[in-house]
Homo-oligomer: A and B are copies of this chain.
Amino acid sequence: MSPRARKLGRGVALVGAGMSKFGAFPDKTSRDLFAEAFTAMSKSVDKGFDTNDIEALYVGNFSSDLFEGQGHVAPIMADWVGLVPKPATRVEDACASGGVAIREGIIAVASGLYDIVLVGGTEKMTNLPTEEVTDTLAAARDAIYEGAPGFSFPGLYAAMATAYMDKHGASTEHFMKVGIKNHNNGALNPKAQFNKSIRDLMDSRIEKAKQKGDPVPDWHEELDFLKDPKANPIVAWPMRLFDCSPITDGAACILLVAEEIAKDFANDPIYVVGSGQGSDHALHEREDLTTISAARFAGQQAYDMASVKPEDIQIAEVHDCFTIAELVAIEDLGFFKPGEGYKATEQGLTARNGSKPINTSGGLKSKGHPVGASGVGQVVEIWHQMRGEAGERQVPERDIRLALTHNVGATGGTCTVHIFHRR
């Protein structure tokens, strides 16, 4: 089914974006992280704004219910940044909660009901032991058809990865190369949870072994390190530890306003020109595990709304919860043909200095994946790159006019795609 081409009732612009540091913060709750992101966002608004002028809040959150015993998070976040009595709504679509919150914020401004809307995402995950986090995240699978047989997400994505290998001839090395690239980017992102390259991690372990007088591992290239089962154990074959995004605490915020007032906030506003969202059956019910049809549906909607093509997009943040997910994403979005994503990655086309830089922030893999916040965090990177404020990781020698974000819930039960334009 092809999505109906639609336009928003009026234009929407992005005039601010900021995030908390992503990482493990034992002393912080999701509300603390949210306030930190709100403060960072506030500082990014060129001409400033009055918090009282914000008319509504949409918060993406996967499950503070399960992680913190706290449902009904939206009014708490509203209270924490001074928005009471304004409407505050939580939206949830698993790991696409942030992307869906962005879409609701866009729709709300387009409806004419509000001119100024805050969109945020927040998740506090590291207070639970790792095994419990995996179980908690597993609430996003289909409890009846996928939960009962014992699937959790590493297993579900491993099924996608084996199908991809089988169909397209990719090897586990190709997955590893996604991780190497994203860690190279994350190493340049001070807000990333793991801001170290795989090479730096490898070198520091070698150094540590030397200092302790332990046998020095025989690692020369990153792939030597990643293929060593002691350094990079298998989680669910072919997905190893370094194919999985980490467990993360974090929050992100963006400010959306009606197009006609955008210049009251930003010197050079970024316009939301495309938005798409799709749903899909759970994984057990799909014919092809090497593509996410909700992503294709959402992408088509967003491209049609923006009247642009995949080749027009200059940079993208895509949902790399597992390394296989990035390969599927860059094919679903039409950046590369089916089965060509892993070759493009191997050729360096998706690197920061490649022709189609993907996940310059480090992606979920290296920047971190506080699930409900991740989709909003993607837009924070787009904001910095489009304004030329991404510091050391700024995409070189390019005037970025069109950028895209792609956020997936579970194994693709939900996907959102957004396209941003700097005029």
Interface residues of A (CB under 8 A from B): 1, 3-4, 6-10, 29, 52, 55-57, 62-63, 65-66, 68-72, 74-76, 78-79, 83-94, 100, 103-104, 107-108, 110-114, 139-144, 147, 277-282, 285, 293-294, 297-298, 409-410, 413-414
Contact = CB atoms under 8 A, between A and B. Distances in A.
A364 to B, nearest CB: 17
A279 B78 CA distance: 8
Copies per assembly: 2
Contact of A107 (B91, B107, B281): B107
Contact of A282 (B10, B76, B91, B282): B76
Contact of A75 (B56, B78, B111, B414): B414
Given A66-B66, A92-B71, A413-B75, A86 B10 contact: no
A82 to B, nearest CB: 11
Contacts of A147: 69-70
A93 B65 CA distance: 12
19 contacts: A8-B111, A9-B10, A9-B113, A62-B71, A66-B71, A69-B147, A71-B140, A72-B409, A74-B93, A75-B280, A75-B281, A75-B409, A79-B281, A90-B92, A90-B93, A91-B91, A104-B107, A107-B107, A107-B113
Nearest to A109: B111
A71 B63 contact: yes
A115 to B, nearest CB: 9
Given A75-B413, A79-B281, A111-B8, A89 B69 contact: no
Given A1-B85, A75-B279, A108-B111, 9 more contacts: A8-B113, A65-B66, A70-B147, A74-B92, A75-B413, A76-B142, A79-B280, A85-B279, A104-B107
Contacts of A279: 57, 74-75, 78-79, 83-88
Given A75-B93, A92-B90, A70 B111 contact: no
A62 B73 CA distance: 11
A414 B100 contact: no
Contacts of A285: 79
Contact of A111 (B84, B88, B110, B143): B110
Contacts of A110: 9, 111-113
A154 to B, nearest CB: 17
Given A91-B90, A92-B90, A113 B144 contact: no
Given A79-B279, A414-B88, A9 B409 contact: no
A94 B92 CA distance: 13
A125 B249 CA distance: 30
A359 B62 CA distance: 34
Contacts of A90: 91-93
B72 A413 contact: yes
A107 B92 CA distance: 17
